[in-house]
């Protein structure tokens, strides 16, 4: 039994006329008759009662019409979904991100993905810098964003855009955009920062800032989670330096002072990953990043 025979059968069920059906399916009437007869012989039953004037379904034919129509609809749906998977429009992707883009780039990206790939399921994970490459290499994550390129040769990175760092102080702090002059004035302040012992480009950027002003910050609290740092600054427990995109957060009780130093954002993925979904998502990532290049 072939799928095409079932399609011929269902068309004949609609027309109940061999001549009309053969024209509709683009085969001769005799060829259609042979296909239906072969189907009946294989099944060992009669599908149609026919004479020179009429063609009508048997009871068994009516039963098969109902169930084969449902089956054909399901098959068509499966074929459509398979095509979407092949073209990278259906499925799922796991995406890692730093907290700094949760208020700016990430919402923009997810909005664009929803518009262009509405059937794609996105799983968000927030690994630390230490586990970032491990997540990718162990297939716990398909694509990731962070403040430095990948080191492992099995991974590939693309620099998306750069943004200014920002000094973050409590809302009642004496420093403002108007009176701020230099980080050198902060030598006696308590800082809440990412662990400066980490061997990452992001932390190296922080060290470079402080080295430029020839002082080591008094790190009172260490945290690698930006949202936590913002909350602690709002409580007046210290000041911090973070990528400026955190300013898009709705955290009250803090003030952002723009610094001249820059932080880059990279997207990273496995070099050998041929998943068509990844290709489509990377295309959207680059589309969205253009908006942020223009803002920086």
Residue 20's domain is classified under what CATH number?
1.10.10.10
| Same domain, yes or no: 104 and 194 | yes
| Same domain, yes or no: 75 and 122 | no
**Contact partners, residue 69, CB within 8 Å, separation at least 6:** 10
Kindly report, residue by residue over 195-211, the tens digit of the pLDDT.
Answer: 888 877 788 889 889 99
Q: How does the average pLDDT of the chain come out, rounded?
A: 91
Model confidence at 109: pLDDT above 90: yes
Quickly state the pLDDT bin for 54 (edges 50, 70, 90): confident
Q: Average pLDDT in the 6-33 region?
A: 90
Instruction: Please identify, among 71, 86, 101, the residue that sits at the C-terminal boundary of a domain.
Output: 86
| Same domain, yes or no: 24 and 106 | no
Q: Average pLDDT in the 49-57 region?
A: 84
Model confidence at 10: pLDDT above 70: yes
Domain containing 78 equals: 3-86
| Same domain, yes or no: 48 and 156 | no
Model confidence at 170: pLDDT above 90: yes
pLDDT of residue 65: 92
Which of 157, 158, 85 lies closest to 121, judged by CA?
85
pTM for the model stands at 0.72
Residues present in the chain in total: 296
| Same domain, yes or no: 245 and 199 | yes
pLDDT of residue 201: 78
Three-state secondary-structure class, residue 220: strand
CB 178 within 8 A of CB 258: no
| Same domain, yes or no: 74 and 154 | no
Quickly state the pLDDT bin for 194 (edges 50, 70, 90): confident
Model confidence at 113: pLDDT above 90: yes
Quickly state the pLDDT bin for 233 (edges 50, 70, 90): very high
Residue 239's alpha-carbon distances to 5, 167, 211, 212, in angstroms, are: 74, 7, 18, 19
pLDDT of residue 36: 92
pLDDT of residue 99: 86
> 200 is written with which tokens?
């990452």
| Same domain, yes or no: 201 and 75 | no
Model confidence at 130: pLDDT above 80: no
Instruction: Please identify, among 86, 118, 138, the residue that sits at the C-terminal boundary of a domain.
Output: 86
| Least reliable range by pLDDT among 74-88, 151-165, 233-247, 255-269 | 74-88
Instruction: Please identify, among 86, 110, 135, the residue that sits at the C-terminal boundary of a domain.
Output: 86
**How many domains, the chain?**
2
pLDDT of residue 296: 61
Beta strands in the chain (DSSP E): 48-50, 55-57, 91-96, 120-125, 143-146, 155-170, 190-193, 218-222, 240-243, 254-270
Spatial separation of the C-alpha atoms in residues 165 and 138, rounded to whole Å: 32
């Amino acid at each position: 039994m072939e799928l095409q025979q079932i399609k011929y059968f269902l068309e004949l069920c609609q027309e109940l006329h061999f001549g009309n059906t053969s024209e509709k399916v683009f085969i001769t009437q005799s060829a259609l008759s042979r296909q239906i007869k072969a189907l009946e012989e294989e099944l060992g039953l009669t599908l149609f009662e026919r004479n020179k004037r009429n063609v009508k379904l048997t009871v068994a034919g009516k039963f098969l019409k109902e169930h084969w129509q449902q089956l054909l609809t399901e098959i068509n749906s499966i074929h459509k979904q398979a095509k979407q998977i092949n073209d990278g429009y259906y499925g799922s992707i796991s995406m890692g991100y730093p907290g700094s883009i949760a208020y700016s780039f990430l919402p923009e990206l997810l909005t664009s993905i929803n518009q262009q790939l509405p059937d794609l399921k996105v799983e968000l994970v927030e690994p630390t810098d230490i586990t970032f490459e491990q997540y990718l290499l162990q297939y716990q994550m398909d694509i990731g964003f962070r403040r430095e390129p990948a080191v492992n040769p099995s991974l590939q990175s693309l620099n998306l855009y750069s943004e200014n760092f920002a000094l973050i102080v409590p809302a009642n702090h004496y420093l403002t955009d108007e009176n701020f002059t230099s980080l050198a004035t902060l030598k006696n302040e308590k800082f809440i920062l990412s662990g400066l012992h980490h061997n990452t480009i992001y932390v190296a950027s922080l060290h470079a800032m402080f080295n430029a002003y020839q002082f080591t910050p008094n790190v009172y609290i260490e945290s690698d989670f930006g949202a936590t740092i913002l909350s602690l600054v709002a409580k007046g427990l210290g000041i911090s330096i973070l990528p400026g995109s955190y300013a898009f957060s709705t955290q009250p009780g803090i003030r952002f002072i723009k610094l001249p130093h820059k932080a880059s954002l990279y997207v990273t993925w496995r070099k050998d990953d041929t998943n068509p979904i990844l290709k489509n998502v990377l295309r959207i990532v680059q589309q969205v990043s253009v908006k942020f290049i223009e803002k920086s």
